[in-house]
Amino acid sequence: MPKTSNSPQEKTPEPAIRAYLGGSFDPVHNGHLEVAMSVYQHLLPIATQLQRTLHVSLLPNARSPFKTQSTDPSHRLNMLKLATENTPIQINELELWQAPPVYTINSVRTLRQQYPNDSLIFIMGMDSAHSLDKWKDGLRLTDHVNLWVFNRQSSTDVSDGVGEKFSDSIISSKNHTVTVQDIATLQSQLPLSLQPHIIDSPIELLTPTIHHSTNSSSSNSTNPNNTDPTSTDLKNANQGRIYIDSRPITAVSSTQIREQLQRIDDQTNKMPVAERQIASIASINDIISNTESNPLAKWLNPAVYQYIIAHQLYSAAQFR
């Protein structure tokens, strides 16, 4: 007889660990995977020790209302599938098919409702975390999830919780010694109300606590429209903490990648048909062999680049 949920011998599984990296992924590139894999590799031994399932997912968003052009969601999803093939990184389509604007606060509320007992972690750069007070209910993200904040320099990208949640980045491979002063400086960049929730280690994002935030009831009462039952006791064991990853990361703008793709397309379109085909193959070979002369080689998965060429994405003609 198969086991049922009422079987006294059945052990309740430990809550899962779920981390999300949001963005437009237009296109997805190696920087996104580098950050997601870093979180996965950091959490895997902890999850194994705690006997908990680990899920690290890319969370592609709907088109930002601040962008006049955006690649069709089906193309972005296909490129994500190619980029994450043979990796443990998953794809969550929660936001992808919604009509914009889609706000991060609504997404994390939905995730908390879906996984009320799991440890939920939202990944972002310090440039985004620094401006959370300008997002729609950005300071309330920690009512529903923990934050993993990467040390990234400020960018000119504008975000209010709609569109990119994490600017295109990659962890620096250079040796870098982080001082106590560096960490203090990073912590001071968070909005003041979030600074008390900073922790020292990512394991604290996962370990239950027996105390709750003294501000939880007052925080909840200030929002009479809050009907989310999971936020009755804020800053609980699965949410409300902020880990600042002090490892430096360098960044590349997805806009720069698209512009480079447009330049390549514009150049090849001026060639005769036969030469154009040879040039496209050469570019793919550059990426496969990681040729330094091709600036896209560092950032684009060869399968993703082939998909871009095959579907004529980011071509100069699109933007005329």
Which residue has better confidence, 126 or 158?
126
pLDDT in tens, 165-198: 444 455 554 445 566 777 788 888 899 999 999 9
Give start and end residues of each alpha helix (H) in the chain: 30-50, 73-84, 104-114, 126-130, 180-188, 216-221, 254-269, 273-288, 302-310
Average pLDDT over residues 92-109: 93
- Token pair 């920087």 in the structure block, residue: 31
pLDDT in tens, 21-47: 999 999 998 889 999 999 999 999 999
Q: What percent of the chain has pLDDT over 70?
A: 62
User: What global pTM score does this model have?
Assistant: 0.76
Cα–Cα distance for residue pair 237/204, rounded to 1 Å:
9
Cα–Cα distance for residue pair 254/76, rounded to 1 Å:
13
Phi first, then psi: give them for residue 96, nearest 5 degrees: -60, -40
**pLDDT classification of 10: cutoffs 50, 70, 90:** low
Task: Count CB-CB contacts under 10 A for residue 45.
Answer: 11
Which residue has better confidence, 64 or 14?
14
pLDDT in tens, 48-84: 999 999 999 999 998 655 566 678 999 999 999 999 9
Which residue has better confidence, 28 or 127?
28
Cα–Cα distance for residue pair 162/112, rounded to 1 Å:
19
Average pLDDT over residues 194-209: 86
Cα–Cα distance for residue pair 286/307, rounded to 1 Å:
15
Q: Does 270 score more than 90 pLDDT?
A: no
How many Å is the Cα radius of gyration of the chain? 21
